[in-house]
Amino acid sequence: MTSTIRPLKKKKVRQENEKIILDAAEKVFSEAGYGGATMQLIADVAGLPKANLHYYFPTKESLYRQVVQNIFNVWLVAAEVFDSATGPAEGLGAYIDAKMEISRRHPAGSKVWASEVMHRAPIIHDYLETALVDWTNDRIKVMQGWVEAGLMDPIDPRHLLYMIWATTQHYADFNHQIETLNHAQPLSDKQWQAAKRNIKRIILKGIGVPESELSRL
């Protein structure tokens, strides 16, 4: 009896503790960078002894790697709205909304990702070369199709994609600068809505979506 229950119990404890540690690690890594973060500080934030971290994650690097992989998955899931669209106004509009929502809800994750890429992705280099390259090439083909169908101007989809990534993630990665320029206040609900509306309008109009489709942003 106990032999069938105990393992489940133990697995649940492990799952919960890993979640607590990963949340604390994401926060600390985003605030201090990889080199500036210490296992001691992550342990304090998680409310656990430092040795426990090494029990669940053998090394600092393995813990960090898990944090980055989790963030990568959030990006991928959010990108699914891109696919079920019939054209740029719908597809890119929904994609921008989804990415802005992530920037608002998970700025720490976005910062860890940005920091990792800025330092030439020493830990998740393989992810960039496989998953990201494949995903990007697929979306570029979709946008190329929209160009050929006359749904948008003949611009280079690659630079459009970079612009969307850069702008949406800027609201997470540079949130401190944005708050400083907003009278030291976080953006309100209305300001986030305005940000989304302005971004979508400029980009969609900029690639040739007719004004009639812009009114319902």
Q: Which residues bind DNA (CB under 7 A)?
A: 10-11, 13-14, 17, 37-40, 48-52, 54-55, 58-61
Quick one: 117 exposed, middle or buried, by C-beta within 10 A (0-12, 13-18, 19+)?
Answer: middle
From the list its own copies, DNA, none, partner contacted by residue 55 (C-beta under 5 to 8 A by kind) = DNA
Judged by beta carbon distances under 5 to 8 A according to partner kind, the member of its own copies, DNA, none in contact with residue 51 is DNA
- Rank residues 79 and 121 by Cβ distance to its own copies and give the closer one: 121
64 binds, among DNA, its own copies, none (CB under 5 to 8 A by kind): none
Q: How far apart are alpha carbons 65 and 170 in whole angstroms?
A: 23
Rounded CA separation 68/138 (Å)? 23
Smallest distance, DNA to C-beta of residue 154, A: 50
Of 67, 56, 58, the C-alpha closest to 106 is: 67
Where do contacts with its own copies occur on this chain (CB under 8 A)? Answer: 30-37, 111, 114-115, 117-121, 128-129, 132-133, 136, 153, 155-156, 158-160, 162-163, 165-167, 169-171, 173-174, 176-178, 180-181, 194-195, 198-199, 201-208
Q: What is the 3-state secondary structure (H, E, C) of 19-30?
A: HHHHHHHHHHHH
Minimum distance, C-beta of residue 53 to DNA, in the bound complex (Å) = 8
- Alpha carbon distance 130, 192 (integer Å): 33
